[in-house]
Amino acid sequence: MKYIKYISLLVIIQLSLSGFGQEAFHNFGNVQIHDQGQIGFHINLINDGTFDQNLGLAGFYNQNNNLTVSGTNRPIFNDLEIDVPDDLFLEIAMGVTNSQQFISGRVNTPRDNIDVSLDYINDAIYLNENDFSFVDGYSAITGLLDFTFPIGDDERLRPMSIDNEAAINTSKGAYFFEDPNFPGISIFPSGGFDTTNFGNLLFGVSDIEFWDLDGDVETRVTLTWDDSSNIDELVSSLTDLRVAGWDRNLEQWVNLGNLGTTGDLINGEIISQPIIPNDYVVLTFGSSNRILDGDFEIFNAVSPNGDGINDTFIIQGIAQFPNNELFIFNRWGVEVFSQKGYNNTWGGISEGRATIAKGKELPVGTYYYVLYINGQQDRAGYLYINR
């Protein structure tokens, strides 16, 4: 059992009945845990005084009931242990300045109040996170180092990482294992985030999960997936996987890039291009190539050299949609090819009216296509001609 040792008390403390039917440690005054001091909370903590200049160790321990931290002032601990199998619930923010250890149970914060979080201050570290012990809600970082948020949802740890620059001004994050089309959190738009509403260079967006990352400093973001993410239904190759963000101004999903992936289609992680988190309401996974619904796959390489491999621009499954129209443009936006009822026969020959003579081979380089299908989401993206 943990105990109080070397605690400075200029304080009024009382034991009172909490709203959960348990006794509570209720601080009205000024409490400080000195160096080498230890305190264990086996009951709820209500902090209406000063409790933020602590050294030593504080722990929350209860094998039979959940515990709650509430009050008007944020308590801040030096070292912190959490051993509450039925979870520790935060009704106010709580901070840690050195290290925090998950022993059992999760730290729950109200997802509809971003101001209540478990705060890692001065690059505080955490240990022993897993699928049953993590922050179920929002956590925050303030420091000088790269940071991975120990966040998840239900019984699912799904970390998100940022670069060190983003930690300086404090960043917050949470993970949601729910369909972004229908988020059940009041802080998000009631209409959700339509996964069929995306900009150029995206061809599908996950409807399985999403993250909220808040911060005003540019950073790369690393998202993680597991077997419940169904990444193999979004892409057939990790080279086509992208981080997607719901643009706050455009109100649609946009492509945030892929600077690198590790793992496979079952478990792994992906790094975005540098972004300012506050420009995007939420983040998730997107596809730059394969259509999410599986109707067809668009191949973005054309090598018309007669070897029988990628000699024409292939849209696998396009035969199911004969009422289509394809347009291809060069890098300057000049139309070089168009066809109604495209049937996978274009081999890099110009049919345009300007810059390149009709019937001539187009030069090696990047081109852009727009595909219209009656009753379907329009698709647009790039293709590369290599001879």
Per residue in 160-188, pLDDT (tens digit) is 999 999 999 999 999 999 999 999 888 99
**From CA 123, how far away is CA 117, in angstroms rounded?**
16
Task: Judge whether 116 and 89 are in contact, CB under 8 Å.
Answer: no
- Judge residue 339's burial from the number of C-beta atoms within 10 Å of its C-beta, 0-12 exposed, 13-18 middle, 19 or more buried: middle
Classify the phi-psi angles of 230: left when phi > 0, otherwise alpha if psi is within -120 to 50, otherwise beta: left
User: Average pLDDT, stretch 256-266?
Assistant: 94
CA 216 to chain centre: 16
CATH number of 297-385: 2.60.40
pTM passes above 0.85: no
**From CA 82, how far away is CA 211, in angstroms rounded?**
24
Would the pLDDT of 216 be above 80? yes
DSSP 231: G
Give the pLDDT confidence score for residue 104 in this predicted structure.
Answer: 98
Give the pLDDT confidence score for residue 310 in this predicted structure.
Answer: 77
Would the pLDDT of 2 be above 80? no
In the chain, pLDDT over 90 holds for what percent of residues?
64
Would the pLDDT of 292 be above 60? no
DSSP 312: S
**From CA 294, how far away is CA 346, in angstroms rounded?**
23
More confident residue, 354 or 22: 22
Please say whether the dihedral angle defined by the alpha carbons of residues 43, 28, 109 and 156, taken in this order, is positive or negative.
negative
Would the pLDDT of 55 be above 60? yes
Strands (E), 1-90: 7-10, 13-17, 23-27, 30-33, 38-41, 44-47, 57-61, 67-71, 76-83, 88-90
Mean pLDDT for the chain overall: 88
Q: Which two tokens stand for residue 55?
A: 């050294």
Give the pLDDT confidence score for residue 295 in this predicted structure.
Answer: 59
Strands (E), 157-289: 160-162, 171-176, 204-205, 210-214, 221-225, 241-247, 253-255, 260-263, 268-271, 280-287
User: Average pLDDT, stretch 237-252?
Assistant: 93
Would the pLDDT of 287 be above 60? yes
